[in-house]
């Protein structure tokens, strides 16, 4: 979706896509920032100093709201770990039937989570990877990007970092179609940092050169996280 020239003035000065909703657009509402509406151009928009001050103010609000949401998310996760009951012992005879009425009984939330991750992984492979590495040339005879897909399927640090970047990019490009965006971004980003920290603690950096697989995964993970930081809403971009 192209950025509309008729978007609210907040989205225009921030160079963000605007759904032009009333009384305030979704982009501004989700970020918790003032929506300057769609009417006449504000006087401060033509003054370079005043425009810079307004952008700085909006950025501070975005940063504050993002930190607050992140702390709340971490507190909820911490509380959930403390209050969660120990897993009940399950015996084979006590397990529910795998098929009920001829259909598989798959837990809804887990199925939805797996589907969302599949969406984001494909989004990364199709749209983000070519942007990150425009000079990369596929070698079909060698399996194309199969090596990358294999690394992602290991569900390690790179897997989480790619989910983080893909969720951000998808949010930026299709903000009108995404829900619960802040919580999703925080969750993926937190998991990615934890996995990366674990990798570094288990394998000293100077030993990565001895294992090309680990080195490629480590560098790709770092690249994805850097890209996330550059485009993160925490920076008000």
CATH number assigned to the domain comprising residue 37: 4.10.240
Does residue 23 form part of some domain?
A: yes
Pick the closest to residue 192 from 162, 166, 212, 171 (CA basis). Answer: 162
Does residue 147 form part of some domain?
A: yes
CA distance 144 to 130: 13
| Secondary structure letter of residue 97 according to DSSP | P
Residues 159 and 208 in one domain: yes
Residues 224 and 123 in one domain: yes
Does residue 90 form part of some domain?
A: no
CA distance 237 to 223: 19
Contact (CB, 8 A) for 228 and 161? yes
Contact (CB, 8 A) for 27 and 13? no
Does residue 42 form part of some domain?
A: yes
Domain end call among 74, 90, 122: 74
Does residue 213 form part of some domain?
A: yes
Other Cβ atoms within 10 Å of 6 Cβ, number: 8
- Per-block mean pLDDT, blocks of 10 residues, the chain (237 long): 68 86 84 86 88 88 77 64 48 40 41 75 88 83 82 83 86 63 78 79 61 75 81 52
| Secondary structure letter of residue 100 according to DSSP | E
Q: Give the residue numbers spanning the domain of 24.
A: 1-74
Contact (CB, 8 A) for 213 and 148? no
Residues 35 and 124 in one domain: no
List, in sequence order, the alpha helices (H) in 84-134. Answer: 108-123, 129-132
What's the number of domains the chain is made of?
A: 2
């Amino acid at each position: 979706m192209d950025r509309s020239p008729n978007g609210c003035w907040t989205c225009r000065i921030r160079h963000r896509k605007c759904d032009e909703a009333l009384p305030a657009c979704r982009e501004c509402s989700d970020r918790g920032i003032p929506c300057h509406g769609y009417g006449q151009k504000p006087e401060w928009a033509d003054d370079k100093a005043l425009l810079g001050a307004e952008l700085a103010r909006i950025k501070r609000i975005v940063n504050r709201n993002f930190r607050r949401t992140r702390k709340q998310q971490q507190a909820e996760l911490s509380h959930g770990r403390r209050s969660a009951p120990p897993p009940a012992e399950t015996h084979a005879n006590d397990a529910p039937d795998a098929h009920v009425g001829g259909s598989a009984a798959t837990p809804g939330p887990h199925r939805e989570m797996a589907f969302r991750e599949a969406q984001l992984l494909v989004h990364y492979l199709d749209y983000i990877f070519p942007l990150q590495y425009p000079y990369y040339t596929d070698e079909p005879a060698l399996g194309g990007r199969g090596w990358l897909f294999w690394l992602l399927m290991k569900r390690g640090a790179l897997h989480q970092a790619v989910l983080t970047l893909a969720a951000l990019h998808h949010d930026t490009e299709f903000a009108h179609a995404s829900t619960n965006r802040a919580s999703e971004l925080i969750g993926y980003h937190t998991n990615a940092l934890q996995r990366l920290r674990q990798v570094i603690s288990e394998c000293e950096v100077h030993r990565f050169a001895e294992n090309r697989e680990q080195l490629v995964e480590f560098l790709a993970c770092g690249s994805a996280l850097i890209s996330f930081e550059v485009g993160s809403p925490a920076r008000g971009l």
